[in-house]
Structure 1
Amino acid sequence: MNHPFRRMAALLLFAFASTGAAAAYPDHSITLVHGFGAGGNADSVARVIADAMGKKLGQTVVVDPRTGAGGTIASAYVSKAKPDGYTLVMLTGGHTASAAMRKELPYDPVASFSMISTVSRFPFVISVKADNPAKDLKQLLDQARAHPGTVTYTSVGVGSTQHLTGELLASKAGVSMVHVPYRGGGAPVQAVLSGDVNVMVDTPTVTAPQLQSGKLRALGVTSPQPWPLLPGVPTVGSVIPGFTVMSWLGIAGPADMPQAVVDTLNHTLKDVLADQEVQKRLHAMGSEAWYGSPGEMRDMIATTTKQWIEVVKAAKIPLQ
């Protein structure tokens, strides 16, 4: 066989092998990394999505929390992983907040990742311990205004969306509140319930059980309209006109993942998020299913990062 035919045969063999490899994906378990503690919103949603993805793909999807630094540790880990589709990350709204808050990151918030799909969106809840003297948001802000620097609020880490939401709230209201960061999970709610911190800024996933038990009292929700999953809770915008913050969760992998693998995962998530049982479980956590294409997720992250950069500058929040 002469060289041209050998070369053609080799190319055909390579193409066949590549197609076969893509078609076989996944042939072993997948790891879904996130950067927050057990019991938090990212962890809870990741486990629902991982379980449903595993059933659709016929392989186990293992949730791997790598906590700290507002999710940047997990994101950095996945950004450097082999781009074969077996190491994924559950990004949160904190991904764009960190990009706005930090002087340097070990990755590019857009270019270092193969975006796959958003999975849910949700507002934040401003709440206090049930025995707090502030009966509504106006009273809390009046309290902070009368005693600057004495009202504290929680977040799941410096540079997290919860952190920026609290800073934005204080800035827009013209008050001073002290940020007390935690590593995520159930730590912020325990800090408020124990009386160590005054105000909780967190997701409905974390807040709702404590509201239902009567241990916490919700003062406001950051959605543009009253959130159906938190009936009776007024919007923050009803006290501070125009105030709105909506956050999200989405799945990505390292940059340069094969397009066939990205497509497989995106189509799987489309089916998962259309499943009524998954939607029901997400609703129970205070969020709604939100599917999107890789391009839509990429554009949303780029746009939201720019918006948070403007918020950080306007509120004069020091970069970390």
Structure 2
Amino acid sequence: MTTSPHLNHRRGTDRRRITAACALLALGLAGSAMANTWPEKPVTLVVPYSAGGPTDVVARLLAVPMGQYLGQTVLVENTVGAGGTLAPARIVRSRPDGYTILIHHMGMATAPSLYKKLPYDPLKDFEYIGQVLDVPMTLLSRKDFPANTFPELLDYVKKHQDTVSLANAGVGAVSQLCGMLFMHQAGVKLTVVPYKGAGPAMNDLMGGQVDLLCDQTTQTVPVIQDGKRAKVFGVTTPQRLSSLPNIPTLDEQGLKGFDVKVWHGMYAPKGTPGEVIDRLNKALNVAIKDENVKKRIAELSSDLVTPDKATPEGLRKHLEAEVARWRTVIKAAGVSAE
């Protein structure tokens, strides 16, 4: 009996449809199984900056409740160097299985404009887990600095700019960008002293080895509230901070439009399965709702993001907007890491 070509074609099409359906079912079952069993070992949360610095403080706060949700320890690892670009470069090279992830601040958005040769593309080489929090910054000086008010500070640095030192957490760090913007708007060129992290820079400021530092409130608020180890001249956001209501903004003191607020996000290597990203996102959301985390972040004058921002899509959109924003700002300020 001869089978018609039309019947053979239909049978072939049916077999392909059945095969495709089986493949999709297998993928669905595999994804479901992965979602139920992952993680099966500790997760490493990579921080681009030194231990004790602002981003490190945030990472260690989040690691505990995230680990409790995941049922595995979340280990914080500091991969320091190259202005915070070594850590993202490591993530890009890591296996996309969710066991090595990154927390990074706005440096993910500024690096493309600061570096001519960047070993990764923030908009193409990562999976997004979600935004974490926003952190204002403050401008500080050593305790025995001659100026006591911001007008006095501006007057002093203009007259003694050849001898005034400005510390930062390293090339490409947010404190470098904030400091450069301050010099640009104040019309001065100070002696810039880069450190390997915000912690060492703050230690030398309090020790009197450097004159000025612009840094995140996660590190500066305890020093400001102590009142014995440094002077504060202003906050970098357009509005005053509820935790430091008596500290005026740089904007209201004459540096019009000065606005630097540090946001943080979590990332995974490109190709990390969606089920794993979903688990990590849920762990992140559990962490930012944790009462101890909320209390500590509030004490550091920072703001945890709203649930709509703590999503992969929320982080992606924000990163895209920030890359465009800082490209314009950095070009206007003449800031470069190379």
Under a length normalisation based on structure 1, what TM-score does the superposition of the two structures give? Answer: 0.93
Secondary structure at the counterpart of residue 18 of structure 1? helix
After superposition, the C-alpha distances for 1:59-94 in whole angstroms (9 at most, x for unaligned) are 110001011122111111011111111110011122
Which residue number corresponds to residue 181 of structure 2? 168
Selected match of 1:274 from 270, 289, 308: 289
Matches of 1:305 and 1:10, distance apart in 2: 42
CA contact (8 A) 1:97 1:160 kept: no
Structure 1 residue 219: Cα displacement: 0.5
Matches of 1:279 and 1:120, distance apart in 2: 10
Matches of 1:185 and 1:64, distance apart in 2: 16
Counterpart residue identity of residue 311, structure 1: V
- 1:310 maps to 2:310: no
Structure 1 residue 178: Cα displacement: 2.3
Which residue number corresponds to residue 152 of structure 2? 139
After superposition, the C-alpha distances for 1:79-126 in whole angstroms (9 at most, x for unaligned) are 111111111001112222222211111000121111111111111110
CA contact (8 A) 1:92 1:250 kept: yes
Structure 1 residue 181: Cα displacement: 1.0
Selected match of 1:121 from 134, 137, 142: 134
Matches of 1:247 and 1:281, distance apart in 2: 17
Deviation >3 Å, runs of 4+: 2-10, 12-15
- 1:220 maps to 2:234: yes
Alignment gaps of 5+ in structure 1: none
Q: Mean alpha-carbon deviation: is it higher for 5-14 or for 208-217?
A: 5-14
- Report % sequence identity: 34
CA contact (8 A) 1:129 1:192 kept: yes
CA contact (8 A) 1:141 1:175 kept: no
Over alpha carbons, which structure has the higher Rg?
Answer: 2
CA contact (8 A) 2:131 2:315 kept: yes
Structure 1 residue 210: Cα displacement: 2.0
Structure 1 residue 7: Cα displacement: 4.4
Selected match of 1:296 from 314, 317, 321: 314
Secondary structure at the counterpart of residue 219 of structure 1? strand
Which residue number corresponds to residue 110 of structure 2? 97
Under a length normalisation based on structure 2, what TM-score does the superposition of the two structures give? Answer: 0.89
After superposition, the C-alpha distances for 1:191-233 in whole angstroms (9 at most, x for unaligned) are 2122221101111122122223311111110011001122311
Structure 1 residue 17: Cα displacement: 2.9
CA contact (8 A) 1:100 1:306 kept: no
Counterpart residue identity of residue 54, structure 1: G
CA contact (8 A) 2:168 2:214 kept: yes
Selected match of 1:230 from 219, 233, 244: 244
Alignment gaps of 5+ in structure 2: 1-11
Counterpart residue identity of residue 305, structure 2: W
Secondary structure at the counterpart of residue 221 of structure 2? helix
